[in-house]
C-alpha cells in the first residue's frame, strides 16, 4: 500500500514547486487519502486539530467507516490557496466503499471537499474540513448497490 501512497502524493504534488508552501499541504492531504485506503483511521486523523467543532463525532465516524468498509479513495485537486501559515484546499474527493461483511455491497460517494490548514510549529494541522458526511459510515440498513 505504501506504493499507492507514494503515487498519490506524487500525482498531487507534481504541479507544484518544491519550495511552494502548498506542496506540503497537498502531500499531507494525499497521505490522509492513502491512510483511508490502508484502513488506518488514526493516521487519517493525525493532522486534525482536535479543538475543531464536532471533532469527536467525526473521529467516531472515521473509525466506524474504516472498521466496516474497505475504502478506495481518490482525490483530485481543484484549488490550493493561502500562504506559508494558512492554506485552503478544495478537492474532488471520490470514494468507493466495499463492505467488509458483504463484498457485494458497493457504495460510491463523491463530493467537493474544502479543508483549511494552519501551520502550528513545524506541522500543518487541519482546522476545518467540510463536508464531513462523505466520511460517515453507511447505515447498516443500506440494501442497495450504489449510493451517490
What residues are paired with 112 via a beta bridge?
92
Q: List strand residue ranges (DSSP E) for 83-141, in order.
A: 86-99, 106-120, 123-130
Which residues on neighbouring strands pair with residue 72, listed in sequence order?
96
Query: How many other CB atoms are found less than 10 A from the CB of residue 36?
Result: 24
Nearest-CA neighbor of 93 among 10, 13, 15, 32?
32
Question: Rounded CA gap, 1 and 57, in Å?
Answer: 28
pLDDT on residue 146:
39
User: What is residue 3's predicted lDDT score, i.e. its pLDDT?
Assistant: 41
Q: How does pLDDT run across 31-70, given as a tens digit for each residue?
A: 999 999 999 999 999 999 999 999 999 999 999 999 999 9
**Percent of the residues in the chain that have a pLDDT greater than 90, as a whole number:** 76
Query: What sections of the chain are H helices per DSSP?
Result: 2-13, 21-37, 41-45, 55-68
Residue 136 cell numbers, joined:
460517515
As given in the structure block, the three cell numbers for residue 74 are 481518490
CATH class of segment(s) 2-135: alpha beta
Q: How confident is the model at residue 129 (pLDDT cuts 50, 70, 90)?
A: very high
Bigger pLDDT: 71 or 13? 71
Q: Is residue 72 over pLDDT 60?
A: yes
Residue 139's pLDDT band (boundaries 50, 70, 90)?
A: confident
The burial class, CB within 10 Å (0-12 / 13-18 / 19+), for 33 is buried
| 3-state DSSP assignment of residue 124 | strand
Amino acid at each position: 500500500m505504501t506504493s499507492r501512497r507514494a503515487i498519490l502524493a506524487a500525482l498531487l504534488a507534481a504541479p507544484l514547486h518544491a519550495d511552494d508552501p502548498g506542496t506540503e499541504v497537498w502531500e499531507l492531504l494525499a497521505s490522509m487519502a492513502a491512510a483511508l485506503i490502508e484502513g488506518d483511521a488514526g493516521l487519517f486523523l493525525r493532522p486534525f486539530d482536535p479543538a475543531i467543532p464536532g471533532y469527536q463525532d467525526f473521529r467516531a465516524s472515521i473509525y466506524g467507516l474504516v472498521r466496516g468498509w474497505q475504502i478506495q479513495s481518490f482525490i483530485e485537486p481543484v484549488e490550493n490557496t493561502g500562504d506559508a501559515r494558512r492554506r485552503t484546499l478544495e478537492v474532488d474527493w471520490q470514494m468507493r466503499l466495499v463492505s467488509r461483511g458483504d463484498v457485494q455491497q458497493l457504495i460510491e460517494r463523491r463530493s467537493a471537499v474544502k479543508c483549511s490548514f494552519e501551520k502550528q510549529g513545524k506541522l500543518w494541522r487541519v482546522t476545518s474540513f467540510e463536508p464531513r458526511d462523505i466520511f460517515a459510515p453507511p447505515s447498516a440498513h443500506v440494501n442497495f448497490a450504489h449510493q451517490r
